[in-house]
Amino acid sequence: MPELKHPHQTQNPIMIKLGVNIDHVATIRQARRTTEPDPVWAAAAAELGGADQITVHLREDRRHIQDRDIEVLKRTVNVKLNLECACVDEMLSIACDLKPDQVCLVPEKRAEVTTEGGLDIIANRSRVADAVKRLKDAGIFVSLFIDPARDQIELAKELSAQAVELHTGTYADATTDAAQHDQLQILTTASHHVKDCGLHLHAGHGLTYHNVIPVAAIAEMEELNIGHSIVARSMFVGMQTAVAQMKALCIEGAMH
Ligand code: PXP
């Protein structure tokens, strides 16, 4: 099978892409198990604001995004659709049937509030290897959400993933300038290694309007996936404006 093109490859290759994660629009809906707010509306508004990609995480516990959401999004999203899911049979079957533009494999623990760290592909090597093959055979571009560690990046390459999304949560959680600087160094070194391995470079988790620019400024960063901060701001300024403001910061960082 010919190597799949990166989902964004047909667009401007030097401009950083913003994936807007709309899970928490569904979180509000699920608080009342009703029909509003609809993440499908959020996706449309995000597109109007300049989103290059809509990202959703279908969790095994269905705490926010539902199966209906991904089905409707698949039919209505006009940019790229990135499905985050755990490396388990149920999710892989759903992904292979849905055929989003990209699947990002993530770790999942039932008790967690949100994803806690990257998928340890070394500890889960055979499961991840099988999943990458299965998704690629279905024609889906595969990204692995991993910590910014050399051995994880090298294994991602060995397992034939096309991209890695570096976990930026530790950087985002840093409470001092010095700690943030150290974490940025780790991300930058890892990013160079990702490119040396010939993988596409994505990043995400915990990014906000205040911390995104240095990450967007990492050379050759191609895609950032950002959710909570955008959805939070959208309550006050609307989704379209919230996305446009984040997109402007991503571009500002990329031009540094
Ligand atoms: N990237 C991945 C792989 C994630 O699991 C998440 C959270 O679902 C995000 C990005 C977005 O994180 P946040 O909501 O903190 O911006």
For 37-64, what is each residue's pLDDT tens digit?
Answer: 999 999 999 999 999 999 999 999 999 9
- The mean pLDDT value for 138-153 works out to 98
pLDDT for 146 beyond 60: yes
Residue 2 in domain:
no
pTM of the model: 0.94
The token duo for 79 is: 């940019």
The answer as to whether 63 is a domain residue is: yes
Q: What is the pLDDT of residues 194-243, one digit of tens each?
A: 999 999 999 999 999 999 999 999 998 999 999 999 999 999 999 999 99
The model's confidence at residue 15, banded by pLDDT at 50, 70 and 90, is confident
pLDDT class for 14, splitting at 50, 70, 90? very low
pLDDT tens per residue across span 175-201: 999 999 999 999 999 999 999 999 999
CATH number for the domain harbouring residue 119 = 3.20.20.70
CA triplet 109, 112, 114: central angle to 5 degrees? 105
Residue of 8, 24, 64, 84 marked catalytic:
84
Mean pLDDT of 11-39: 90
pLDDT at 108: 83
- Residue nearest ligand 1's atom 3 by CA: 145
Domain that holds residue 197: 12-254
The yes-or-no verdict on residue 8 having pLDDT over 70 is no
Q: Is 152 in the pocket of ligand 1 (CB under 6 A)?
A: no
pLDDT per residue as tens digits for the range 83-106: 999 999 999 999 999 999 999 999
Domains held by the chain: number: 1
**Interior angle at CA 97, CA 16 and CA 7, nearest 5:** 15
Work out the pLDDT band at 256, boundaries 50, 70, 90.
confident
The answer as to whether 198 is a domain residue is yes
Mean pLDDT of the 64-75 span = 98
Label each residue of the chain as H, E or C: CCCCCCCCCCCCCCCCEEEEECHHHHHHHHHHCCCCCCHHHHHHHHHHHCCCEEEEECCCCCCCCCHHHHHHHHHHCCCEEEEEECCCHHHHHHHHHHCCCEEEECCCCCCCCCCCCCCCCCCCHHHHHHHHHHHHHCCCEEEEEECCCHHHHHHHHHCCCCEEEEECHHHHHCCCHHHHHHHHHHHHHHHHHHHHCCCEEEEECCCCCCCHHHHHCCCCCCEEEECHHHHHHHHHHCHHHHHHHHHHHHHHHHCC
Residue 186 falls inside a structural domain = yes
Atom of ligand 1 nearest to the CA of 24: 14
Using the predicted structure, report yes or no on whether residue 9 has a pLDDT greater than 60: no
4 domain residue, yes or no? no
Question: In this structure, is residue 149 part of a structural domain?
Answer: yes
Query: Which residue matches tokens 């990166």?
Result: 6
- Check if 200 is active-site: no
Is 57 a known active-site residue?
yes
- Residue 75 in tokens: 């039919």
Is the residue at 1 inside a domain? no
Q: Is the predicted pLDDT of residue 131 greater than 70, yes or no?
A: yes
User: Average pLDDT of 136-152?
Assistant: 98
Is 6 inside a domain boundary?
Answer: no
Residues 8, 24, 202, 205: which is the catalytic one?
Answer: 205
